[in-house]
Amino acid sequence: MGMNHSEKYLLIFKRSAWVVFLFLVPGCEREAGNGKPLEDKVSAGLRREVEVIEVRRMGFESSVSAVGSLAPIEESLLGVKVSGRVRDVAMDIGSEVEAGDLLARIEPEDYEAQLRQAEAMLSQSKAVLGIPNEDTGEGVDLEETSLVRQALAAMEESRRERDRVVSLSEGGVVSQSELEAAESDYRIAASRHQEMLDEARRRLAQLDQRRAEVDLARQNLDATEIHAPFSGIVEKRLAYKGEFLKAGDPVAVLVRNDILRLKLEVAERDAPRIRLGQQVRLSVTGDDKIYQGELRRISPRLDELSRMLLVEAEVVNPGESAGGGSS
């Protein structure tokens, strides 16, 4: 059986969901079924067999190249809410902290005194209204306050006296002047009752103010301790023991980098191909490894000046030095 030396060809049609593979392979000479040489039936002197394979549907990966930077998924500049001198600092650069861990503390004595003063004023307001000190004072019925109860009792007594005098006057037992005096006393008592209701409303409003002052004093006292809002690593320490800080002064920079935020700028021509959930492969300067991520955020419009689309992907931090490089 003679062999020829023809080449093997592979034809691939790119940018299509359909791929056709066509192979041309060497063949052997053989006789046809009727015993005659195949050369008698083919004009050419060389016979070739063609192998045809099934057309298959395959997908091609379409990629977009972009350059960006890596940053922590969360980064927070922690500051103090209240002014004061730093008593303790419980962290330093590189410290790993859990959410809620104490990072620093301001001297609390002044704020403890403010809280005690606010609580004393609240107790005084409760006493004026006849509310037990252990009672929160919330949902107080005006009619149940001591001021209003006393005025109401006086008004009821005056009403009963007026009714008695009216009854006697009908029998001619009391004079007209006595009847008018009883009616006047009742009107005075009723007016006094209304005044006490208004006074109780004012004092209840003052009680609400005193409660708010207590809450604020307690918040200020709590704010003397700076706690980690999330688990992470201290990137910068910005406060030291004995230093006086004003409200708003920074204490530390805390980052969470178990997941990294990959910020990319995509050219305008590639923007229509970008979709949430697309996979991202990235390489980092100085690192030969390829990392995987997922596209999570897309800006709603192109940057007006650069005509670039800002997108963000999230990449699981493998624990190596990958932060801040280009991709």
Is the pTM higher than 0.75? The answer reads no
> For position 93, what pLDDT does the model report?
96
pLDDT, one tens digit for every residue, the chain (327 residues): 444 443 333 333 333 233 333 333 344 444 444 545 545 555 555 567 778 888 888 777 778 888 889 999 999 999 999 999 999 999 999 999 999 999 999 999 999 999 999 999 999 888 887 777 776 656 677 777 777 888 888 889 898 888 888 888 877 777 888 888 888 988 998 888 888 888 888 888 888 899 999 999 999 999 999 999 999 999 999 999 999 999 999 999 999 989 999 999 999 999 998 999 999 998 888 888 888 999 999 999 999 999 999 999 999 988 744 334 433
Cα separation of 136 and 215, whole Å?
12
For residue 218, which phi and psi values (nearest 5 degrees)?
-70, -40
CA-closest candidate to residue 107, choices 84, 91, 89? 84
Q: Is 223 helix (H, G, I), strand (E, B) or coil?
A: coil
Burial (CB count within 10 angstroms: exposed 0-12, middle 13-18, buried 19+), residue 27:
middle
CB 235 within 8 A of CB 36: no
- The domain locations on the chain are 1-60, 108-223
- Residue whose entry in the numeric block shows the structure tokens 């059986």: 1
Which residues sit opposite 232 in a β-bridge? 97
> For position 277, what pLDDT does the model report?
92
> For position 193, what pLDDT does the model report?
87
CB 258 within 8 A of CB 109: no
> For position 137, what pLDDT does the model report?
58
Instruction: Supply 43's token pair.
Output: 């004009």
DSSP letters of 148-217?
HHHHHHHHHHHHHHHHHHHHHHHTT-S-HHHHHHHHHHHHHHHHHHHHHHHHHHHHHHHHHHHHHHHHHH
Cα separation of 240 and 1, whole Å?
92
Cα separation of 203 and 222, whole Å?
28
**How does DSSP classify residue 3?**
B
- Residue whose entry in the numeric block shows the structure tokens 């359909």: 18
Q: Is 310 helix (H, G, I), strand (E, B) or coil?
A: strand
Q: β-strands 308-316, 250-267: how paired?
A: antiparallel
